[in-house]
């Protein structure tokens, strides 16, 4: 900042003194001018002697000088008065403003006069009081804001901990369900497998009925396990949809044929209609679509005692590269009460508790179907009337790979029963295989041995992964059936060690089939990552196992 001139920086009293001195000086100059230009000419003109005029001038000068001195004294007294009356309040104002500028908001300027300075001081005091009040309110609001931020941070921390706890609980639940599924599937594998083997022997009518009860109970328990795992996966947000190319007509016909056995046993018609504009070749999750259709068709057959079940497919929206397909499953069954229509898609819910005792089931099928439909970009709802049947509608969006050209083949009439497809398996192998079975369960080992009884293959048993590794390194095995959960060394480690040994020795890798009760998608990926060629989930069907072996033996099914 530029320095101010000394006069500007001088006190008010000094400024007044300077001003008065200037006035007196001007007064002296005026007197001298008056004597020289006015008094002398007048007196000389009137004939006054020069000595008299000089005397008069001296008296005039003396008087003027005295008056000047008196004026200076008077002006000095006035300056002192004004310095006290004006400078002191101004100094108070200046000092107060400087303290306020430093942040001292409790300062009050003590100027009691009623003039402009007093009004100015009063305005400044009011302004400072308002500023102090505002600052206090701001500080209070600041404190409240800090408390709110701290509270929000505590809430966020609690939410984070709750989220972590929920994720841990969800993960623990998933692991529990996976382990539970494994522990149940392992004995269930033997139960269903031995029931299948028993059904192939000579049985009396009563024995055959008992065996069928075993088979139905085993299949129901297996369905329950699959439903619980599916629901757990959906709730955990780990449902992954595939995107594969499939033939819609072929998928519908296979689903119908699979359900036709139960429909035929109850004397029900089972029919399907596909509108001509429905495209056949689609891109999407065919397995999940088939699961939804199987659930709805299975329920329709379960709750119908007579009449028929219909499946209809139409196009709701058609675009150049996608289409929204609508499906309708109609039945002539017992129907659903109106007050139960809104909750029928809830987990573990059925329209009437008595239906559980009469028809069985857990109420998971519709809940899973609803969530699958929504995951695939569609919606599902139901229309029903007690005693007149139900119709379940759902829509799913797919990518169209082929425009419809009409559906070849015969479309069944409404009253026509579709016969079940005969399932036969023939093992035609180019050569017998020497198979190494790694299995710690005696029952499952006996079951697989029984499955291979009428084949040309031979089998050697290893009771854990360590034995399996040792026997495989001994050589001579064409195929390994590897259980993934075993003592001493599990199947994942044994498979990895086998693959490492093959790579080190240059031995051609043998097919390794993972046989496990773990059925989750991540379990399949884990088996394949360990080096398994294919993953088969227990309970193990005879046809599935023999087909896998036949493929590796070079035969045909």
How would residue 118 be classed by pLDDT, with cut points 50, 70 and 90?
confident
Tokens (6 digits) for 28: 């002296």
How would residue 7 be classed by pLDDT, with cut points 50, 70 and 90?
very low
CA nearest neighbour of 270 among 224, 330, 327, 221:
330
* Coil, helix or strand at residue 393: strand
Question: What's the pLDDT at 13?
Answer: 55
Q: Tally the residues of the chain.
A: 557
pLDDT at 149 over 80: yes
DSSP 36: I
Beta-bridge mates of residue 380: 394
Question: What's the pLDDT at 424?
Answer: 36
Q: Compute the average pLDDT of residues 145-162.
A: 89
Q: Compute the average pLDDT of residues 303-328.
A: 90
pLDDT tens per residue across span 335-375: 888 878 778 887 655 545 545 444 445 567 888 889 889 98
In percent, the amount of the chain with pLDDT more than 90 equals 17
pLDDT tens per residue across span 467-522: 999 999 988 899 999 998 888 899 999 999 999 999 999 889 999 999 887 766 77
Between 164 and 235, residue with greater pLDDT: 164
Most confident of the ranges 30-39, 225-234, 433-442, 546-555: 433-442
Cβ-proximal residues to 109 (8 Å cutoff; 6+ apart), any chain: 92, 93, 96, 121, 124, 125
pLDDT at 537 over 50: yes
Distance CA 448, CA 437 (A): 9
Q: What sign does the CA torsion over 459, 461, 464, 468 have? A: negative
pLDDT tens per residue across span 212-251: 777 777 777 777 777 777 777 676 666 778 888 999 999 9
Q: Compute the average pLDDT of residues 277-295.
A: 90
Distance CA 416, CA 177 (A): 42
Mean pLDDT of all residues belonging to the chain: 77
CB 526 within 8 A of CB 233: no
- Which phi and psi angles does 201 have, rounded to 5°? -95, 175
DSSP 410: P
pTM (predicted TM-score) = 0.50
Written as one string, the DSSP assignment of 500-550 is HHHHHHTPPPPPEEEEES--SHHHHHHHHHHT-SEEEESSPPHHHHHHHHH
How would residue 172 be classed by pLDDT, with cut points 50, 70 and 90?
confident
| 35-44, 163-172, 259-268, 296-305, range with the lowest pLDDT | 35-44
């Amino acid at each position: 900042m530029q320095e101010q001139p000394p006069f500007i920086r001088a006190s008010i009293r000094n400024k007044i003194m300077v001003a008065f001195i200037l006035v007196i000086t001007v007064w002296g100059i005026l007197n001298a001018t008056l004597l020289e230009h006015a008094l002398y000419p007048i007196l000389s003109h009137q004939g006054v002697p020069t000595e008299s005029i000089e005397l008069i001038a001296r008296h005039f000068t003396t008087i003027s000088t005295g008056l000047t001195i008196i004026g200076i004294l008077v002006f000095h007294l006035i300056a002192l008065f004004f310095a006290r009356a004006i400078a002191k309040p101004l100094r108070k104002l200046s000092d107060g403003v400087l303290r306020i500028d430093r942040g001292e908001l409790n300062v009050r300027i003590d100027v009691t006069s009623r003039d402009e300075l007093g009004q100015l001081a009063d305005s400044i005091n009011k302004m400072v009081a308002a500023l102090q009040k505002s600052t206090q309110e701001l500080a209070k609001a600041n404190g409240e804001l800090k408390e709110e931020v701290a509270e929000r941070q505590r809430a966020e921390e609690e939410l984070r901990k709750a989220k972590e706890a929920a994720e841990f609980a969800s993960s623990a639940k998933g692991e529990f369900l996976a382990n539970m599924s494994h522990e149940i599937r392992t004995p269930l594998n033997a139960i269903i497998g031995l029931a299948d083997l028993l059904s192939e022997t000579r049985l009396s009518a009563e024995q055959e009925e008992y065996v069928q009860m075993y088979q139905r109970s085993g299949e129901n328990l297996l369905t329950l396990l699959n439903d619980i795992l599916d629901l757990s996966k959906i709730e955990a947000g780990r449902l992954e949809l595939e995107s594969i190319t499939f033939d819609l007509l072929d998928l519908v016909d296979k689903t119908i044929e699979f359900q036709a056995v139960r429909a035929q046993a109850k004397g029900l018609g089972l029919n399907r209609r596909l509108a001509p504009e429905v495209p056949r070749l689609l891109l999407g999750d065919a397995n999940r679509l088939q699961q939804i259709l199987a659930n709805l068709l299975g329920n329709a057959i379960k709750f119908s005692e007579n009449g028929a079940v219909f499946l209809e497919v139409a196009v709701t929206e058609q675009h150049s590269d996608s289409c929204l397909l609508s499906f309708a499953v109609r039945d002539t069954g017992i129907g659903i009460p109106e007050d139960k229509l809104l909750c029928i898609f809830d987990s573990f819910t059925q329209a009437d508790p008595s239906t559980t005792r009469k028809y069985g089931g857990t109420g998971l099928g519709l809940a899973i179907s609803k969530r699958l439909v929504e995951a695939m970009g569609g919606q599902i709802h139901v229309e029903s009337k007690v005693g007149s049947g139900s119709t379940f509608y759902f829509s799913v969006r797919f990518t169209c790979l082929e425009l419809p050209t009409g559906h070849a083949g015969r479309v069944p009439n409404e009253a026509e029963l579709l016969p079940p497809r005969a399932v036969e398996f023939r093992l035609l192998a180019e050569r017998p295989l020497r198979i190494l079975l790694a299995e710690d369960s005696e029952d499952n080992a006996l079951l697989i041995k029984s499955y291979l009884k009428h084949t040309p293959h031979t089998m050697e048993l290893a009771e854990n992964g360590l034995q399996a590794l040792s026997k495989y390194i001994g050589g001579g095995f064409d195929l390994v059936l590897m259980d993934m959960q075993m003592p001493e060394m599990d199947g994942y480690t044994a498979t990895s060690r086998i693959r490492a040994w093959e790579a080190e020795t240059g031995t051609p890798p043998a097919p390794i089939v993972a046989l496990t009760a773990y059925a989750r998608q991540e379990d399949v990926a884990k088996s394949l990552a360990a080096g398994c060629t294919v993953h088969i989930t227990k309970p193990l069907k005879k046809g599935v196992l023999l087909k896998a072996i036949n493929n590796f033996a070079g035969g045909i099914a």
